[in-house]
Amino acid sequence: MTTATKPAPQTEAPGATPEHELMDLQREHGGPLLSFLLRLCEGDRQRAEDLVQETFVRAWQHPEALRADYASVRPWLFTVGRRLAIDARRARLSRPAEVGDAVLESARVCADHAERSAAALDVREAVATLSPEHQAVLLQVYFRGASVAEAADALGIPPGTVKSRAYYALRALRRVLPGYGSNTSGPR
């Protein structure tokens, strides 16, 4: 009957370098460590591989842990890998969610300040070509947000005249500014 003996602590073979020891360690424990970390990373292989690599970097930085009087270094590697996975998860949860390309492609594009300024200048120039009566109605109804009745009171003209002037003013603007005014609703 043979008795189980504890393996002798790892000692450096003559000519063995820390890099060779690390390669041997990775060859022996890399597969099981990757499988373990894949489960912790919910199947995200890239994240798990990054954690395996970081675990072996920690092993390289702490050779004393690898030469300790343990039967196997695997529990130490798994503990380090698990802690790295927990830290990575906490870091991901503390940041805002990343947005994929599909979301950006469907996002509404807003005109920049220069485009809005240029459009405002175009509209001002076009409004300046209108008669003073049409300008006054547009100013009341569209720029100040007055209702037809309020504009009629402010200008001292009947509500029907406000509607008529607003209609003809917008029609003239549409001719001068093609592309603008397609979403313009009539006076209230």
Q: Model confidence over 17-35: pLDDT tens digits?
A: 667 877 888 898 889 999 9
* 90 and 153, same domain (yes or no): no
CA distance 116 to 50: 46
Q: Dump pLDDT digits (tens) for 75-95.
A: 888 999 999 999 988 988 888
Q: What local confidence, expressed as pLDDT, does residue 59 receive?
A: 84
Q: What is the mean pLDDT of the chain?
A: 80
* 138 and 171, same domain (yes or no): yes
Higher pLDDT, 52 or 106: 52
Q: Which of 61, 95, 129 is the last residue of a domain?
A: 95
Q: Which of 52, 60, 48 is nearest to 22 (CA)?
A: 60
* 77 and 124, same domain (yes or no): no
CA distance 166 to 187: 7
Q: Which of 95, 125, 143 is the last residue of a domain?
A: 95
Global confidence as pTM: 0.43
Q: Which domain holds residue 117?
A: 113-176
Q: Which residues contact 79 (CB under 8 A, 6 or more apart)?
A: none
51 pLDDT band (50/70/90 cuts)? very high
Q: What is the dihedral of CA 178, 180, 184, 186, to 10 degrees?
A: -40
**Mean pLDDT along residues 151-180:** 89
CA distances from 47 to 34, 84, 89, 99, 150 (A): 10, 11, 10, 18, 64
Q: What local confidence, expressed as pLDDT, does residue 43 receive?
A: 87
Q: Which of 20, 105, 114, 108 is nearest to 60 (CA)?
A: 20
Q: What local confidence, expressed as pLDDT, does residue 110 receive?
A: 64
The CATH number linked to 87 is 1.10.1740
Lowest-pLDDT range, 38-52, 59-73, 115-129? 59-73
Kindly state whether residue 102 falls inside one of the protein's structural domains: no
